[in-house]
Structure 1
């Protein structure tokens, strides 16, 4: 298990009108930046197993807590969490370190941001590595509207948008229980229940399956969310339809070399059309659930490093 004391110490860096709490390692490898973007409800700490491996392979690892998370700024305006702001933070982070471009790695919502960043600022991204969430095709109907029609009002994306503040409060009241119950692996299959699944999870006395992390690792997340609350991070979801509009006029094809890592037991759906939108993609599947880089850190590191090595050899 990872000792949280071994994670790099953070610095607060002003970017794009906010401050980001940034953890970095391998500055001696200046010139080979790799930026790791966490998902929800995560933290830069979710990359704890990747940072030492990347530094040993000669990379300058830059790991921000994105806006709304940890000790990074938490603007009050919902629209301050749209894809333009989130990708703008990452561009400004590159500017801060004096980098033209970098390799970007994203998990879950971090993957959504990395895909969006690559569409909006293609010259700043040289390679893409995403975990769990594949490229999301921009269909005819805004995303939340589509989800509401197909999955109903209790689906958490829809609920976050249509009932603002409700879930945020339940998670804040049950921070430890919610995160403990969420970060599980090898969960037994269960029948879908009526109601808002994540609110029920936050209130559940007993977790299912096995923990993804040790108590001391979980304590890092619990402490961060007890301090920040959940609203800033959930505001990312409240911009999904806005993002759909913001991405209307960009070229939807990602030309950069890309690695997509799926977990075979992840609930996030794979993309049937990934190669249409990301023609230079390679796909790797690992035998795990949603928390890929934490459930199978060694295998994730191997997949990433081998792919990077092959790209560098080209």
Structure 2
């Protein structure tokens, strides 16, 4: 447990003998530092000091009650403070899903603290003319989970909390057959579904780590990240949107998240790789993910 930025973060680390070569792994939703278990030993062997926080709202890390305590300034501030704690000027940052969003924005807000970027699943998000939730509501409607989390605070949280084990069991799936979207809110439907689609991403004992963490913490802290999207849009108004650092973007070919064709316009030094998997890239195809990351880092 490390005190940073007015919160306590639960931080896992390995390879302290490699001090001076830090790499920070940032999980997504609804995840945990444990989602990087396949990458940690490989990165240690490659000479890295691997630092893996449960970010605020997750695991045993602090869960502030104010929604605005989960905005992008706080989330990136936690990572900056973590570098300060270890005495590092900068580090390589790796993010998956929401963690990727935080890493992209960390690189915009604190470019001097990031030497390389590796992001999985979620590409750079262009800041358009209108706040993100407002835009999504118009395109996807009020049941879209980003919108629902914002417009009906507390509703989804309670249902996910009640059905934590079933929700996570249904969420962490691969090879899910394509199907038209059901009516209603997707995350709530998942939490209530008796029969999951596809195949499990991980073994029961691995899934149990996620389940026990969310049964203890609840989902509100992690969902509060979504409740700051429009606030983040305003906070990023005057920030230079171009990322100059070398970057690696890894997509899952079967992921629901679309690729961003204009990525090189915002991240000119990016290399793009696609793996034949769904959203949970580093857990679905751990060996292939490790090979791609190590090869790129060696370059």
Measured against the shorter chain, the TM-score band is: over 0.9
Residues 1:78 and 2:58 are matched in the alignment? no
> Which 5+ residue runs of structure 1 have no aligned equivalent?
1-11
* Per-residue deviation, residues 216-273 of structure 1 (Å, max 9, x unmatched): 0000000000000000000000000000000000100000000000000000111011
Partners of 1:193 and 1:52 lie apart in 2 by 40
Partners of 1:161 and 1:272 lie apart in 2 by 28
Partners of 1:100 and 1:218 lie apart in 2 by 35
Provide the secondary structure at the position in 1 that maps to 2:94. Answer: strand
Partners of 2:210 and 2:118 lie apart in 1 by 24
Residues 1:304 and 2:285 are matched in the alignment? no
Residues 1:230 and 2:192 are matched in the alignment? no
1:6 aligned residue? none
Q: CA deviation at 1:192?
A: 1.3
Residues 1:217 and 2:206 are matched in the alignment? yes
Partners of 1:193 and 1:212 lie apart in 2 by 22
Residues paired across the two proteins, number: 299
Residues 1:144 and 2:127 are matched in the alignment? no
1:186 aligned residue? 175
Partners of 1:81 and 1:267 lie apart in 2 by 25
Question: What is the CA RMSD across the aligned residues, in angstroms?
Answer: 0.4
2:4 aligned residue? 15
Which of 31, 34, 37 is the aligned partner of 2:26? Answer: 37
Structure 1's consecutive aligned runs of 4 or more residues displaced over 4 angstroms after TM superposition are none
2:166 aligned residue? 177
2:279 aligned residue? 290
TM-score computed with the length of structure 2 as normaliser:
1.00
TM-score computed with the length of structure 1 as normaliser:
0.95
Which of 113, 123, 142 is the aligned partner of 2:112? Answer: 123
Partners of 1:136 and 1:97 lie apart in 2 by 30
Residues 1:98 and 2:87 are matched in the alignment? yes
2:151 aligned residue? 162
* Per-residue deviation, residues 25-82 of structure 1 (Å, max 9, x unmatched): 0000000000000000000000000000000000000000000000000000000000
Q: CA deviation at 1:299?
A: 0.3
Provide the secondary structure at the position in 1 that maps to 2:25. Answer: strand
1:47 aligned residue? 36
Partners of 1:202 and 1:190 lie apart in 2 by 18
Partners of 1:59 and 1:232 lie apart in 2 by 30
> Which 5+ residue runs of structure 2 have no aligned equivalent?
none
